Amino acid sequence: MAQKPSIPKGTRDFTPVEMAKRNFIFDTIRNVFRLYGFQPIETPAMENLSTLLGKYGEEGDKLLFRILNSGDFLSGIPSELDGTTDSAGLSGYISEKGLRYDLTVPFARFVVQHRNEITFPFKRYQIQPVWRADRPQKGRYREFYQCDVDVIGSDSLLNEAELVKIIDDVFRRLNIRTVVKINNRKVLAGISEIIGQTDRLTDITVAIDKMEKIGLEKVSEELLVKGISDEAIGRLKPILLLGGSTAVKLDKLTNILSDSEAGLKGVAELRTLFSYIESFGLSEMAELDLTLARGLNYYTGAIFEVKAIDMSIGSICGGGRYDDLTGIFGMPGVSGVGISFGAERIYDVLDHLGLFPSESLESPRALFVNFGTKEEAYILPILTTLRKKGINVEIYPEADKMKKQFNYANRKNIPYVVLAGEAEISANMLTVKDMASGDQKMVSVEELTKVLSVD
Amino acid sequence: MAQKPSIPKGTRDFTPVEMAKRNFIFDTIRNVFRLYGFQPIETPAMENLSTLLGKYGEEGDKLLFRILNSGDFLSGIPSELDGTTDSAGLSGYISEKGLRYDLTVPFARFVVQHRNEITFPFKRYQIQPVWRADRPQKGRYREFYQCDVDVIGSDSLLNEAELVKIIDDVFRRLNIRTVVKINNRKVLAGISEIIGQTDRLTDITVAIDKMEKIGLEKVSEELLVKGISDEAIGRLKPILLLGGSTAVKLDKLTNILSDSEAGLKGVAELRTLFSYIESFGLSEMAELDLTLARGLNYYTGAIFEVKAIDMSIGSICGGGRYDDLTGIFGMPGVSGVGISFGAERIYDVLDHLGLFPSESLESPRALFVNFGTKEEAYILPILTTLRKKGINVEIYPEADKMKKQFNYANRKNIPYVVLAGEAEISANMLTVKDMASGDQKMVSVEELTKVLSVD
C-alpha cells in the first residue's frame, strides 16, 4: 500500500537548485583551504559512544543520536535491569555507537589514532555533516554540515594570522562584508586574575559571552548571582568597555594587566597577531573585542568570531587556539588552532542579500531540442565534441512537443537552447537561442563552442 | 583518564593521502555526470523506518542501522511487552529512524515527495555514504559511498545509450579498461515464456545471475532444485550459450523469441540501444551477455554491468531500467533508468594497477621554508600573489631546523620547496628546489609562478 513519504523532522532534502547554492559555498571554502596548504580528512558518521560521551557536557550527551546495537540487542542487558524504566541507564547496554556530534572530537580522536601516519604540524580541513537531537526550529537542524580547518602541532601565531587571512579570502569570494572579532583567553584569564577572581574564569567567560545578546547590565547581574563580588564587577566593567583603536586598547591593557603574567602574555600574542594582520592589509576587517569570550572551555589563546556586516544573524565563523584537545585521548600537550565556517548561516546570508551567482557549475549550459531520429544522429556527435571541451550539455531524450522541451530548459534554468532542423543540418549549422534575451542566431559548431564556453 | 581511541568495526578514517585518491574518483565521476546534464541532490542520512523497511527483503531489514529514539524511549513501549526478549519486536517501539541503506529508495521517496518542484525527465546524480550492518570483511564496509545517476520520467532508449557513454567516459578518464555487459529483462522474460516457465522469471533470473560465479552446470542444478523441469532447462541452456557477434545473437534471438511479445520487445530495445552504441563508436567495449540477469527484481528493461579487463574483482558499475520504482510511495507508472558506480572497488582497481595520479588537487605545490621574522615578511606577500593565481602554497609556520622543514615537505609529498634567505631577498629573487630531481635555481616571482602552475 502506498505510504505518504516524509523525512525525519529537522532533516532536509536538497534539490538541484539548493545543491548548486550549497556547493557554491562548500567549493569556495574548500578551494581557499587548499590554497593555504590544508588537506582533507574524513571520519565515520558513527563513533563509539566512549569517544563521544562526556565531551559535550551533560546536555550534549542527551543530544547524541545513538545507534541501536545490531541483532539481538536485548541479550546484553544485565538481569537487574529487567523491567527498568530508566531509558538513560538502559541505553548504555543496547547502544554502543552514536552519530558524530561535531568535527572537533572526531578530529582529536583521529590525530591520536593516526599520530604515526600524519605529518606535524598537521593542517587539515574537514567538511562533513553532524547530527544533534536538538529541538528543530528555524535555522536549526538535526543534520547539518560543519566546515572545519585546523593546524595542530604548532604554537606559531602565524597560524592564527593565516586563519584570519582565510576568513577574509572566503568571505571576499562570497561577496559577504564581514568583521572578524578577536580576543585572547589569556587576556580574559589576566582580567579574572587582576579583579581577584582567578578561579572563576569559567563563570566570567560564560557570562561575558552573553554580552552582545543581553548587554553589560544583565551580564553584571549574572555575575553577581554567581557570587562574583560587586567590587570585582566594578573593576571588570571599565575593562570590558575599553575604547580606542586596537593599538590604544593594547597599550591600556598592558597597564591594566601589568601584574598578571598570563594577561601580559595574551597581550603580547595579540600584538603579534595584529601586526601580521596589518602586514596582510586586513586591519580594516579585524577588531580587538574584549567582550568576546566564546563559551567553549577548551580555548586557551586567540579566539575569533566573524559577523556579517549587512545582516544580523549571529556569528558565521568562529574558533580559536586550544592547548590540549588531544589530551582526553591520551596525547597531552599538543597545541592547535582552528576555525569553523557555519555553512547554514552563510547560506542564509547569501540568500537574504541575493548574492548567489545566477549560474552554477551544476547547470547544463545548453539543451539541444530533440526533433527525432535523423536530427539526433546529427546532434549526438556535436554533443560529444562539446563535452570533450568540458561544456555541460544535454539533449532532450525524446522528440516531445517543442513547448515541453523549452519548458524543460526554462525550469532547469538552462541559459541556451540549441535547435537543428532540416535547414541547419543541410547548412551544417545550428540555431542557438539565448533564453534570457530571446535572441537567436545560426552558428557553426566552432561558434557554438564559443557561445557556450564559460569564461 | 585517557582512553585508547578506536572507531566502530567496518568503518574507516580517511587520511589526506586516501582522501586525495578518493576525491580523484568522485571528482571524475561527478564531472562526467555534469557534462551530460545531470544535477545533484542530497537526502538525509536518516530516513523514517517506514520508508526503509520492506524495501530490501528480510535480510536487508536486519542490516539496517536503527537510531534509538531520543529522550525517554522506554515510555513508548506497550505494557504487554514488559520483560520481552524479542529484540526485533521491541525495536519498532524504541526506534523510528534508520540510516540510509542505499540511494535508490531515498531517491524514489524524494521524487514522490518533491514531484511538484522537480522537472521531468528528472536527471539526478547522488554521491553519498550508505550504511549496512553487514559482517565486515575485506572490501566490505559498514559505511561506504554510492555514486548513482538516474533519469526518471522518460522511456527513451537514448537515456540508456547516454549512460553507456557515461560509463565509457568515466573509465576512460580513470584509465581503467572495461567491458560493459548488457542484457534486457524483457528478453529474459521472453526466454522464461518460451521455455514454458513464465511465472518462474524471478527464480530463473536469480539462478542465471550466478552463472559467472558458479557456471552453467551449477545453475542448472539450482533450477532443478527450484522445480524447473529438465526439459525447460534443456531448452534454456543453448539460449544462454548463444554465440556470435551482437548482431548475430540478436538475429538468433528474434527467431527463438518469435512467439513472445515481451521477448521481441526486448530484442527490439537491444537493437536500438546497440545501434546508438555503434554510432558512439563504442561497439568494442559493449557486449550483449544473455547470462547477465542482475538479482534485483525491480529491473524491467535494459540491464548493465561493467567489468575491469585488467583485474578480476566483480562488477565496478551496474544498473538498469525500472518501470515502477516510485510505485511503493504512491506514484505509479514512472519509468526510469540508472547506474551506480562502485567507488570502493574502483579504488581497489586503481590502486592495484597503479593508476592513481602522483599529484592531486589536494596537495600544496610548494612549501616556503621559514627562516624567521624578516624572511617571513619577504615571503608573505609572495604567498598572497601566488594564491591569487590559484596556486596552493604554504609556509612552514615556524623557524624550525631546515631538515625538519624539508622532511615536512617530503612527507606531505610537496613537489617544490622555496627558500628566501639574505641573498635572495637582496636580489629580490627566490630559490626553488624540485624535490624529485633535486635541481634548484634562483628565480623571480614571475618565473616561480610559471614553475608552480599546474598545466
Within a domain: B438:
yes
Kindly list the strands in the beta sheet with B143-152, ordered across the sheet, starting from the edge strand earlier in the chain.
B39-40, B122-131, B143-152, B336-341, B315-322, B299-308, B178-184, B286-288
Q: Which residues of B touch A113 (CB under 8 A)?
A: 5-7, 13
Cell of B112: 514522490
Report pLDDT for B161.
98
Within a domain: B60:
yes
**Helix, strand or coil, per DSSP, at residue A287:** strand
Is B100 in CB contact (< 8 Å) with chain A? Answer: no
Contact A35 B74 (CB under 8 A): no
pLDDT band at B1 (very low <50, low <70, confident <90, very high): very low
Question: What mean pLDDT, rounded, does chain A reach?
Answer: 93
How far is residue A197's CA from residue A207's CA, in Å, rounded to a whole number? 14
Cell numbers 520487445 label which residue?
B265
Nearest CB neighbour to A46, from listed B8, B16, B117: B8
> Would you report the helix, strand and coil content of chain B in percent, each value rounded to 5?
45, 20, 35
Q: Which residues of B touch A23 (CB under 8 A)?
A: 40
Mean pLDDT of the region B287-299: 86
How far is residue A249's CA from residue A287's CA, in Å, rounded to a whole number? 11
Query: pLDDT (tens digit, 9 = 90+) per residue, A28-51?
Result: 999 999 999 999 999 999 999 999
Contact A74 B87 (CB under 8 A): yes
Query: pLDDT (tens digit, 9 = 90+) per residue, B394-431?
Result: 999 999 999 999 999 999 999 999 999 999 999 999 99
Contact B7 A361 (CB under 8 A): no
Question: What mean pLDDT, rounded, does chain B reach?
Answer: 93
Cell of A384: 560529444
Within a domain: A376:
yes
Within a domain: A209:
no
Closest chain A residue to B21, measured at CA: A40
Within a domain: A260:
no
Burial A196-235 (b: 16+ CB within 10 A, else e): ebeebbebbbbbbbebbeeeeeebbebbeeeebeeebbeb
Query: pLDDT (tens digit, 9 = 90+) per residue, A356-392?
Result: 998 777 789 999 999 999 999 999 999 999 999 999 9
Report pLDDT for A455.
58
Q: Which of residues 271-310 of A touch B (CB under 8 A)?
A: 279-280
Interface test with A, best of B67, B117, B413 (most A CBs within 10 A): B67
Is B411 in CB contact (< 8 Å) with chain A? Answer: yes
Contact B392 A37 (CB under 8 A): yes
Is A77 in CB contact (< 8 Å) with chain B? Answer: no
The H or E element spanning position B40 is strand B39-40
Q: Which residues of A touch B143 (CB under 8 A)?
A: 44-46
Mean pLDDT of the region B34-59: 95
Query: pLDDT (tens digit, 9 = 90+) per residue, B17-33?
Result: 999 999 999 999 999 99
Contact B7 A70 (CB under 8 A): no
- Asked if residue A213 has pLDDT above 70, the reply is yes
* Helices A185-194 and A246-256, axial angle in degrees (round to 10): 40
Q: Contact at 8 Å (CB) between A39 and A123?
A: yes
Q: Which of residues 203-242 of A touch B (CB under 8 A)?
A: none
How far is residue B192's CA from residue B200's CA, in Å, rounded to a whole number? 7
Within a domain: B409:
yes
Q: Which letter does DSSP use for residue A76 in this model?
A: G
Is B119 in CB contact (< 8 Å) with chain A? Answer: yes
Interface test with B, best of A38, A39, A169, A396 (most B CBs within 10 A): A39
Is A453 in CB contact (< 8 Å) with chain B? Answer: no
Nearest to B321 by CA among B163, B106, B134: B163
Mean pLDDT of the region A309-335: 93
- Asked if residue A130 has pLDDT above 70, the reply is yes
- Asked if residue A2 has pLDDT above 70, the reply is no
CA distance A134 to chain B (A): 9
Mean pLDDT of the region A86-92: 81
Q: Contact at 8 Å (CB) between A206 and A254?
A: no
Nearest CB neighbour to A15, from listed B94, B118, B380: B118
Nearest CB neighbour to B159, from listed A65, A74, A397: A397
Look at A3-7, B150-154, B177-181, B269-273 and tell me which has the smallest mean pLDDT.
A3-7
Nearest CB neighbour to A5, from listed B8, B129, B329: B329
Domain boundary among A126, A142, A174: A174
* Residue A82 vs residues A93, B38, B75, B83, B86: alpha-carbon distances, Å: 12, 54, 15, 6, 13
3-state secondary structure B381-448: HHHHHHHHCCCCEEECCCCCCHHHHHHHHHHCCCCEEEECCHHHHHHCCEEEEECCCCCEEEECHHHH
Within a domain: B353:
no
Is B70 in CB contact (< 8 Å) with chain A? Answer: yes
Q: Which of residues 174-193 of A touch B (CB under 8 A)?
A: none
Nearest to A95 by CA among A70, A71, A68, A74: A68
Nearest to A167 by CA among A41, A28, A279, A294: A28
Report pLDDT for A403.
97
Q: Contact at 8 Å (CB) between A97 and A67?
A: yes
Contact B121 A397 (CB under 8 A): yes
> Would you report the helix, strand and coil content of chain A in percent, each value rounded to 5?
45, 20, 35
Other CB atoms closer than 10 Å to residue A374's CB: what's the count?
12
CA distance A149 to chain B (A): 13
Report pLDDT for B2.
53
The pTM score is: 0.94
Within a domain: B200:
no
Is A53 in CB contact (< 8 Å) with chain B? Answer: no
Greater pLDDT, B116 or A213:
B116
Domain boundary among A174, A207, A231: A174
Is B394 in CB contact (< 8 Å) with chain A? Answer: yes
Q: Of all residues in chain B, what percent carry a pLDDT higher than 70? A: 99
Q: Contact at 8 Å (CB) between A91 and A53?
A: no
Query: pLDDT (tens digit, 9 = 90+) per residue, A324-337?
Result: 889 989 999 999 99
CA angle B93, B98, B103 (to 5 degrees): 150
How far is residue A382's CA from residue A388's CA, in Å, rounded to a whole number? 10
How far is residue B176's CA from residue B346's CA, in Å, rounded to a whole number? 9
CA distance B307 to chain A (A): 24
Greater pLDDT, A400 or A84:
A400
Which domain, by its residues, includes A391? 366-452
Q: Contact at 8 Å (CB) between B307 and B179?
A: yes
How far is residue A428's CA from residue A432's CA, in Å, rounded to a whole number? 13
- Provide the residue type at B264 as one letter: L
Report pLDDT for A8.
96
Q: What is the DSSP string of B337-386?
A: EEEEE-HHHHHHHHHHTT-S-SS-TTS-SEEE----HHHHHHHHHHHHHH
Beta-bridge partners for B319 = B304, B339
Look at A198-202, A221-225, A266-270, B5-9 and tell me which has the smallest mean pLDDT.
A198-202
Domain boundary among B174, B209, B235: B174
Report pLDDT for A445.
97
Domain count across chain A: 2
How far is residue A69's CA from residue A81's CA, in Å, rounded to a whole number? 17
How far is residue B425's CA from residue B405's CA, in Å, rounded to a whole number? 20
CA distance A234 to chain B (A): 40
**Number of C-alpha atoms within 13 angstroms, CB side, residue A389?**
18
Q: What residues have CB less than 8 Å from A217, skipping those under 6 apart?
A: none
pLDDT band at B3 (very low <50, low <70, confident <90, very high): low
Report pLDDT for A296.
65
Mean pLDDT of the region A280-290: 94
CATH classification of the domain holding A96: 3.30.930.10
CATH classification of the domain holding B438: 3.40.50.800
Cell numbers 513464465 label which residue?
B198
